[in-house]
Chains A and B, each alone.
Chain A
Amino acid sequence: EAGVVQSPRYKIIEKKQPVAFWCNPISGHNTLYWYRQNLGQGPELLIRYENEEAVDDSQLPKDRFSAERLKGVDSTLKIQPAELGDSAVYLCASSGREAFFGQGTRLTVV
Protein backbone atom coordinates (compact mmCIF):
# COMPACT_ATOMS: atom_id res chain seq x y z
CA GLU A 1 0.00 0.00 0.00
CA ALA A 2 1.34 3.42 -0.93
CA GLY A 3 2.02 5.83 1.87
CA VAL A 4 1.33 9.55 1.94
CA VAL A 5 2.63 11.01 -1.30
CA GLN A 6 3.80 14.59 -1.57
CA SER A 7 5.11 16.58 -4.48
CA PRO A 8 7.33 18.22 -5.33
CA ARG A 9 10.11 16.96 -3.05
CA TYR A 10 12.12 20.13 -3.41
CA LYS A 11 11.23 23.64 -4.52
CA ILE A 12 13.37 26.76 -4.81
CA ILE A 13 11.60 30.03 -5.51
CA GLU A 14 12.32 33.72 -5.27
CA LYS A 15 10.60 35.73 -2.58
CA LYS A 16 7.23 37.19 -3.50
CA GLN A 17 6.55 34.29 -5.90
CA PRO A 18 3.67 31.86 -5.33
CA VAL A 19 4.20 28.18 -4.58
CA ALA A 20 1.94 25.17 -4.16
CA PHE A 21 2.39 21.78 -2.55
CA TRP A 22 0.32 18.70 -3.24
CA CYS A 23 -0.55 15.79 -0.98
CA ASN A 24 -2.22 12.46 -1.67
CA PRO A 25 -3.13 10.77 1.63
CA ILE A 26 -3.45 7.09 2.38
CA SER A 27 -6.62 5.66 0.90
CA GLY A 28 -9.47 5.69 3.40
CA HIS A 29 -7.90 8.21 5.76
CA ASN A 30 -10.44 10.92 6.45
CA THR A 31 -8.11 13.15 8.47
CA LEU A 32 -5.37 15.09 6.74
CA TYR A 33 -2.81 17.42 8.28
CA TRP A 34 -0.33 19.96 6.98
CA TYR A 35 2.68 20.65 9.16
CA ARG A 36 5.64 22.97 8.80
CA GLN A 37 9.03 21.88 10.12
CA ASN A 38 11.73 24.49 10.46
CA LEU A 39 15.36 23.41 10.55
CA GLY A 40 16.23 21.83 13.88
CA GLN A 41 12.64 21.99 15.13
CA GLY A 42 9.71 19.65 15.44
CA PRO A 43 6.72 19.86 13.08
CA GLU A 44 4.07 22.49 13.83
CA LEU A 45 0.50 22.01 12.72
CA LEU A 46 -0.80 24.42 10.10
CA ILE A 47 -4.20 22.94 9.32
CA ARG A 48 -6.24 19.79 9.89
CA TYR A 49 -9.00 18.48 7.66
CA GLU A 50 -11.77 16.05 8.46
CA ASN A 51 -12.90 14.97 5.03
CA GLU A 52 -13.38 18.21 3.11
CA GLU A 53 -13.78 20.43 6.17
CA ALA A 54 -10.91 22.40 7.68
CA VAL A 55 -11.61 21.82 11.38
CA ASP A 56 -8.47 23.43 12.77
CA ASP A 57 -6.72 26.20 10.87
CA SER A 58 -5.84 28.36 13.84
CA GLN A 59 -2.11 28.14 13.09
CA LEU A 60 -2.39 28.88 9.38
CA PRO A 61 -1.12 32.38 8.44
CA LYS A 62 -4.18 33.25 6.45
CA ASP A 63 -2.82 36.42 4.90
CA ARG A 64 -0.55 34.41 2.62
CA PHE A 65 -1.34 30.71 3.13
CA SER A 66 -4.34 28.86 1.81
CA ALA A 67 -5.28 25.21 1.60
CA GLU A 68 -7.97 23.10 0.08
CA ARG A 69 -8.99 19.48 0.08
CA LEU A 70 -11.23 18.75 -2.82
CA LYS A 71 -13.58 15.75 -2.56
CA GLY A 72 -12.01 14.88 0.78
CA VAL A 73 -8.98 13.20 -0.79
CA ASP A 74 -6.01 15.15 -2.21
CA SER A 75 -4.99 18.44 -0.71
CA THR A 76 -3.07 21.48 -1.85
CA LEU A 77 -1.27 24.02 0.30
CA LYS A 78 -0.43 27.35 -1.30
CA ILE A 79 1.73 30.29 -0.29
CA GLN A 80 1.32 33.61 -2.04
CA PRO A 81 3.52 35.58 -1.86
CA ALA A 82 6.37 33.59 -0.33
CA GLU A 83 8.72 35.22 2.15
CA LEU A 84 12.26 34.28 3.14
CA GLY A 85 10.97 33.01 6.50
CA ASP A 86 8.76 30.45 4.77
CA SER A 87 11.80 28.31 3.98
CA ALA A 88 11.06 25.00 5.72
CA VAL A 89 9.91 21.45 5.12
CA TYR A 90 6.17 21.17 4.61
CA LEU A 91 4.84 17.82 5.75
CA CYS A 92 1.52 16.25 4.98
CA ALA A 93 0.12 13.50 7.19
CA SER A 94 -3.06 11.45 7.22
CA SER A 95 -4.59 9.31 9.91
CA GLY A 96 -6.99 6.48 10.42
CA ARG A 97 -6.06 4.30 13.38
CA GLU A 98 -2.49 5.55 12.99
CA ALA A 99 -0.99 8.72 11.55
CA PHE A 100 1.50 8.53 8.71
CA PHE A 101 3.65 11.32 7.35
CA GLY A 102 4.78 11.95 3.83
CA GLN A 103 8.42 12.69 3.00
CA GLY A 104 7.74 16.39 2.85
CA THR A 105 8.45 19.22 0.43
CA ARG A 106 11.61 21.17 1.18
CA LEU A 107 10.98 24.80 0.27
CA THR A 108 13.80 27.28 -0.12
CA VAL A 109 12.88 30.92 -0.65
CA VAL A 110 15.74 33.06 -1.98
Chain B
Amino acid sequence: QKEVEQDPGPLSVPEGAIVSLNCTYSNSAFQYFMWYRQYSRKGPELLMYTYSSGNKEDGRFTAQVDKSSKYISLFIRDSQPSDSATYLCAMTPFSGYNKLIFGAGTRLAVHP
Protein backbone atom coordinates (compact mmCIF):
# COMPACT_ATOMS: atom_id res chain seq x y z
CA GLN B 1 0.00 0.00 0.00
CA LYS B 2 1.31 3.43 -0.95
CA GLU B 3 1.84 6.04 1.73
CA VAL B 4 -0.28 8.53 -0.22
CA GLU B 5 -3.30 7.49 -2.24
CA GLN B 6 -4.90 9.71 -4.86
CA ASP B 7 -7.62 8.85 -7.36
CA PRO B 8 -6.06 9.33 -10.83
CA GLY B 9 -9.37 10.31 -12.44
CA PRO B 10 -9.84 11.64 -15.03
CA LEU B 11 -12.35 14.06 -13.59
CA SER B 12 -14.42 15.99 -16.13
CA VAL B 13 -16.56 18.94 -15.04
CA PRO B 14 -18.35 21.84 -16.73
CA GLU B 15 -17.00 25.35 -16.44
CA GLY B 16 -18.13 27.04 -13.24
CA ALA B 17 -18.43 23.81 -11.24
CA ILE B 18 -16.93 23.28 -7.80
CA VAL B 19 -14.19 20.67 -7.96
CA SER B 20 -13.15 18.49 -5.05
CA LEU B 21 -9.81 16.69 -5.16
CA ASN B 22 -8.71 14.36 -2.38
CA CYS B 23 -5.84 12.36 -0.99
CA THR B 24 -5.57 9.90 1.84
CA TYR B 25 -2.40 8.95 3.62
CA SER B 26 -1.19 6.39 6.10
CA ASN B 27 1.81 8.02 7.81
CA SER B 28 0.68 9.90 10.91
CA ALA B 29 4.04 11.73 10.97
CA PHE B 30 3.05 13.91 8.00
CA GLN B 31 2.63 17.49 9.19
CA TYR B 32 2.99 19.61 6.06
CA PHE B 33 0.67 19.26 3.12
CA MET B 34 0.88 20.69 -0.35
CA TRP B 35 -1.06 20.79 -3.57
CA TYR B 36 0.71 21.13 -6.90
CA ARG B 37 -0.71 21.76 -10.35
CA GLN B 38 1.02 20.22 -13.34
CA TYR B 39 0.14 21.15 -16.89
CA SER B 40 0.99 18.72 -19.66
CA ARG B 41 4.74 18.57 -20.34
CA LYS B 42 5.48 21.07 -17.58
CA GLY B 43 6.90 20.78 -14.11
CA PRO B 44 4.65 20.91 -11.03
CA GLU B 45 3.88 24.35 -9.58
CA LEU B 46 2.93 24.91 -5.95
CA LEU B 47 -0.68 25.96 -5.33
CA MET B 48 -1.17 25.59 -1.60
CA TYR B 49 1.01 24.85 1.43
CA THR B 50 -0.60 24.04 4.75
CA TYR B 51 0.57 22.93 8.15
CA SER B 52 -1.33 20.45 10.34
CA SER B 53 -5.12 20.42 10.36
CA GLY B 54 -7.47 23.14 9.22
CA ASN B 55 -8.43 25.15 6.18
CA LYS B 56 -6.52 27.58 4.01
CA GLU B 57 -8.03 29.71 1.28
CA ASP B 58 -6.34 31.44 -1.65
CA GLY B 59 -8.62 32.96 -4.23
CA ARG B 60 -10.70 30.21 -5.81
CA PHE B 61 -8.70 27.48 -4.05
CA THR B 62 -9.32 26.07 -0.58
CA ALA B 63 -7.17 23.39 1.02
CA GLN B 64 -8.46 21.31 3.92
CA VAL B 65 -6.53 18.94 6.14
CA ASP B 66 -8.14 16.45 8.51
CA LYS B 67 -5.31 14.72 10.31
CA SER B 68 -7.65 12.62 12.43
CA SER B 69 -8.94 10.99 9.25
CA LYS B 70 -5.63 11.24 7.38
CA TYR B 71 -7.47 12.99 4.57
CA ILE B 72 -6.72 16.16 2.64
CA SER B 73 -8.78 18.00 0.06
CA LEU B 74 -8.44 20.77 -2.48
CA PHE B 75 -11.55 22.63 -3.59
CA ILE B 76 -11.66 24.75 -6.71
CA ARG B 77 -14.57 27.18 -6.98
CA ASP B 78 -15.86 28.56 -10.28
CA SER B 79 -13.62 26.20 -12.23
CA GLN B 80 -12.21 27.46 -15.53
CA PRO B 81 -10.91 25.63 -18.61
CA SER B 82 -7.47 26.95 -17.65
CA ASP B 83 -7.71 24.80 -14.50
CA SER B 84 -7.47 21.69 -16.67
CA ALA B 85 -4.31 19.97 -15.44
CA THR B 86 -3.10 17.21 -13.16
CA TYR B 87 -3.29 18.00 -9.46
CA LEU B 88 -0.75 16.36 -7.19
CA CYS B 89 -0.93 16.23 -3.42
CA ALA B 90 2.33 16.05 -1.52
CA MET B 91 3.21 15.77 2.13
CA THR B 92 6.15 15.52 4.49
CA PRO B 93 6.91 15.27 8.20
CA PHE B 94 9.36 18.14 7.88
CA SER B 95 9.06 21.86 7.35
CA GLY B 96 10.22 23.03 3.96
CA TYR B 97 10.26 20.70 0.99
CA ASN B 98 12.35 17.79 2.22
CA LYS B 99 11.22 14.18 1.94
CA LEU B 100 8.11 15.09 -0.04
CA ILE B 101 5.87 12.11 -0.79
CA PHE B 102 3.61 12.75 -3.77
CA GLY B 103 0.30 11.21 -4.72
CA ALA B 104 -0.11 9.87 -8.24
CA GLY B 105 -2.08 12.94 -9.32
CA THR B 106 -5.68 13.50 -10.46
CA ARG B 107 -6.30 14.60 -14.05
CA LEU B 108 -8.91 17.33 -14.21
CA ALA B 109 -10.64 18.52 -17.38
CA VAL B 110 -12.90 21.59 -17.23
CA HIS B 111 -14.95 21.91 -20.38
CA PRO B 112 -16.61 25.14 -21.56
A interface with B by C-beta (< 8 Å)? 4, 31, 33, 40-45, 48, 56, 91, 93, 95, 98-104, 106
Contact = CB atoms under 8 A, between A and B. Distances in A.
B42 A103 contact: yes
Contacts of B103: 42
A91 B105 CA distance: 16
Interface residues of B, number: 20
Interface in B38-52: 41-46
A103 B41 contact: yes
A101 B45 contact: yes
Q: Report whether over half of chain A's contact residues are helix, strand or loop; otherwise say mixed.
A: strand
B102 A44 contact: yes
Contacts of A104: 41-43
A91 to B, nearest CB: 6
A103 B8 contact: no
A57 to B, nearest CB: 13
Interface stretch (B57-65, B66-74, B77-85, B90-98): B90-98
A58 B46 CA distance: 25
B44 A33 contact: no
A99 B46 contact: yes
Contacts of A102: 43
Given A4-B43, A102-B43, 4 more contacts: A42-B103, A56-B99, A100-B43, A100-B46
